Every structure is written in C-alpha cells, then in structure tokens.
Amino acid sequence: MIIAKQKPLEEIRQMLEGYERILVLGCGTCTAICLAGGDREVAVLASSLRIAAKISGKNHLFKEHTVNRQCEWEFLDTIEEQVKEVDAIISLGCGVGVQAISERFPEIPVFPGLDTLFMGMPQEEGIWVERCSGCGSCILDKTGGICPVTRCTKGLLNGPCGGTKNGKCEVDPEKDCAWTLIYQRLEKQGKLDLFDEYHPPRNFQAVIRPGKFSIKQGG
C-alpha cells in the first residue's frame, strides 16, 4: 500500500488561507491503514481547523467526508454534490488521490494534506517500511523475494558491496544489508546458485515516466 504522513498543521492552515468553505476529504484505502487519512484523521484535522478558525474569529465551514478510494472516478462521483458547496478541498489521500480529485473537479483548488512517502507495508504497529519502488522490471524471483532495488541503500543489482558489515549497511548501521538478507534467504531455500547469477544493469526504460499501462496492450 501507499504510505503517507500528515503535513504539519501550520502548513495546512497556510494553504487554506483565504478559503471559507472547505471539504476535508479522506481516503478509505491506503492512507486510512497507515493512519494518515482515514475517517478518524479527517475528523481530528477538521476539528483542529475548526477550533483554530474560531480562535482567529473566523466562522469557516469545514465539511468532513471519506471516500473508499480517491484514485477512482466511481468514488469521486459520489462527492459531486458536496464539492458544489465548498470553495476548496484538502485531500488526505496520497498524491494520486489529490491529482485525481483535481482532475475530476478542475474548477476547485485541491490541496495535499499529506506527504506521500513510499509503497510499503507495516513492520510492526505504527511502523511502515518501503518494499517496492515500482521499477517495472521485477527480479524478486532471483533474489529470494527481497528487492535489492528498494532495500539496498545503493540499489545494487549485484551485491553485497564492500560496505556490508555484520549484516548491516555502511550508509546507515541501523539498516539491514539487503544483499545479506538475500543470501540468508537463498541459503534457507537451497538456491544459493542464484547468488552467482549476474544481473545486467536495470532497464530504466521499463517504465518511462509518466507511467501508463493498458491491460488491452499489456495483457
């Protein structure tokens, strides 16, 4: 899923300066799971903004709503009426969500309430880790299901480098060396021969930005 974190309240208030009727719009999928933009976060942000506005002597309207997914037209269609009642939207979805809303309702300014960080998964309660870079040329079959493009600090396709020490990375001793993890995983699977395989430089044209995929052409 996509991991994001809420922007500082001061930054959000600055963005909304000059707008009086604002829709705080959450996303019920990725950002809800990473506790950045679901129902609860929408309610807390809207309440905070409402209090701050009242203290400043402004009687602004902060509407609250969460759609299942901000990145699909079907779900955005459901807020059409609510959008007519506001003059700005603050999105608690990822960057995709913000752009989708903006594309669907081009007449209304849409502001990002979150900073989108990466594609990842929960490691433990409240901690998320990056697992995929969306490089377009997956080699997880050869690396024991551990992605060196994402998890090796240097993104090496043929590792480990000389900087690995006791299973940790020289760049950040807190981080595991991805290639040590790959070695250990392949050893466990009895597939250490894969470790000898040379990986040619990554095909950077596998996904040309901005990426586009059609199931009709690709599938």
Partner 1 sequence: MTAENRFEPEIVAFCCHYCAYAAADLAGVARLQYPPNIKMIKLPCSGTIDALYILKAFEQGADGVLVAGCLKGTCHFIDGNIRAETRIERVKGILDKIGLGKDRLEMFFMSSSEGPRFAEVAREMTERIRQLGPSPIKGV
Residues that bind partner 1 (CB under 8 A): 8-10, 40, 43-44, 47-52, 54-57, 59
Count of CB atoms within 10 A of residue 133's CB? Answer: 14
Which tokens is 195 given? 């470790």
Provide the minimum distance between the beta carbon of 121 and partner 1 in the complex, in angstroms, as a whole number.
23
Count of CB atoms within 10 A of residue 35's CB? Answer: 14
How far apart CA 122 and CA 7 sit, in angstroms, is 20
Q: What is the SS3 assignment for 49?
A: helix
Cis amide bond preceding 210, omega within 30? yes
Length of the chain: 219
The candidate with the shortest Cα–Cα distance to 142, out of 97, 101, 193, is: 193
Closest to partner 1 by CB, 8 vs 145, is: 8
Provide the minimum distance between the beta carbon of 93 and partner 1 in the complex, in angstroms, as a whole number.
20
Provide the minimum distance between the beta carbon of 40 and partner 1 in the complex, in angstroms, as a whole number.
7
Provide the minimum distance between the beta carbon of 42 and partner 1 in the complex, in angstroms, as a whole number.
10
Closest to partner 1 by CB, 57 vs 106, is: 57
Can you list the positions of beta strands (E) in 127-192?
127-132
The candidate with the shortest Cα–Cα distance to 130, out of 141, 115, 146, is: 146
Closest to partner 1 by CB, 23 vs 181, is: 23
How far apart CA 39 and CA 156 sit, in angstroms, is 40
Closest to partner 1 by CB, 16 vs 149, is: 16
Provide the minimum distance between the beta carbon of 48 and partner 1 in the complex, in angstroms, as a whole number.
5
Provide the minimum distance between the beta carbon of 118 and partner 1 in the complex, in angstroms, as a whole number.
23
Closest to partner 1 by CB, 58 vs 165, is: 58
Closest to partner 1 by CB, 51 vs 140, is: 51
